[in-house]
Amino acid sequence: MQLPTSNSTPAISSNTIADPLAKVTARIQHAAEVAGRNAETVRLIAVSKTQLAEAVAQAYACGQRDFGENYLQEALEKQAALTHLRDIVWHFIGPIQSNKTRAIAENFAWIHSIDREKVAQRLNDQRPADLAPLQVCLQVNIDDETTKSGTSLAELPALAKAVNQLPRLQLRGLMALPAAANNADRQRLAFAKLRQALQSLQAQGYVLDTLSMGMSGDMAAAIAEGATMVRVGTDIFGVRSQK
């Protein structure tokens, strides 16, 4: 079918994501180098919440495959518009309401934000049998902020134990969203706490390989403390309009 030119795929020169995405990739590489780590051990999750499907398609055209979304309805609409991008990997990173678990279990490969057993149980029960187990991280409220979701460090061992027993969930590691700090040392302190929590679970015998931590403003500190996934939105797609 001949498409009108106005609808055709934009040329590379009009890909506005390519340049910021390359800059973020270079920053990851640099931060890994400084930390004495192989940059290939840090996976970039492009956080596309509030961004249009077209922006996701542009990042995909640059080779980006992992995308993070926070709002279910918006994510489902974007996914429906992008079904032709077959090997795209969708990560759910937002707060999970228990009445939304079925759609999340059916439409994402990864979930970073499990913070209670009830939600984990529902996701397990609702994960379709023909899909691979859901890859999951437990979200930890590392600064014990009352306004934030995430399990406390005190409750983490019990939650890990419960989730590890669910056959349709594969527990991969921990995620945190620390309080914003503009100082690299304070950023590292919070990320170090999450790393230590992961190491403590590993010492108890859990096989875990994922530390999901670091965003646009603090990804270097997160990589210095062992992040294996950084979740970056603003520095790839630009400032979000208010939701």
Q: How far is the CB of 5 from ligand PLP (least distance, A)?
A: 34
Residue 212: name the closest of 238, 230, 186 by CA.
230
Residue 50 sits in the site that holds ligand PLP (CB under 6 A):
no
For the four alpha carbons of 138, 94, 62 and 25, in that order, the dihedral sign comes to negative
Instruction: Kindly report the number of other CB atoms within 10 A of residue 203's CB atom.
Output: 8
Stretch that binds ligand PLP, among 71-79, 149-157, 197-205, 230-238 (CB under 6 A): 230-238
Residue 21 sits in the site that holds ligand PLP (CB under 6 A):
no
Residue 139: name the closest of 162, 110, 114, 120 by CA.
114
Residue with smallest beta-carbon separation from ligand PLP = 233
What is the rounded CA–CA span in Å between residue 87 and residue 100? Answer: 24
Q: In residues, how long is the chain?
A: 243
Residue 70 sits in the site that holds ligand PLP (CB under 6 A):
yes
Closest to ligand PLP by CB, 15 or 216: 216
Q: How far is the CB of 47 from ligand PLP (least distance, A)?
A: 4
Q: How far is the CB of 93 from ligand PLP (least distance, A)?
A: 4
Residue 232 sits in the site that holds ligand PLP (CB under 6 A):
yes
What is the rounded CA–CA span in Å between residue 113 and residue 141? Answer: 11
Closest to ligand PLP by CB, 175 or 224: 175
Query: Looking only at residues 164 through 183 of this chain, which bind ligand PLP when binding is defined by CB under 6 A?
Result: 177
Q: Does an H or E element contain 114, and which?
A: strand 110-114
Closest to ligand PLP by CB, 29 or 216: 216
Residue 190 sits in the site that holds ligand PLP (CB under 6 A):
no
Residue 157: name the closest of 121, 128, 198, 129 by CA.
198
For 90, the token pair is: 């969708």
| 3-state secondary structure (DSSP) of residue 170 | strand
Residue 42 sits in the site that holds ligand PLP (CB under 6 A):
no
Cβ(119)–Cβ(97) below 8 Å: no
Residue 126 sits in the site that holds ligand PLP (CB under 6 A):
no
| 3-state secondary structure (DSSP) of residue 222 | helix
Among 105, 120, 166, 215, binds ligand PLP (CB under 6 A): 215
Residue 224 sits in the site that holds ligand PLP (CB under 6 A):
no
Among 107, 121, 170, 216, binds ligand PLP (CB under 6 A): 216
Instruction: Kindly report the number of other CB atoms within 10 A of residue 148's CB atom.
Output: 16
Chain residues that interact with ligand PLP, rule: CB under 6 A: 47, 49, 70, 93, 177, 215-217, 231-235
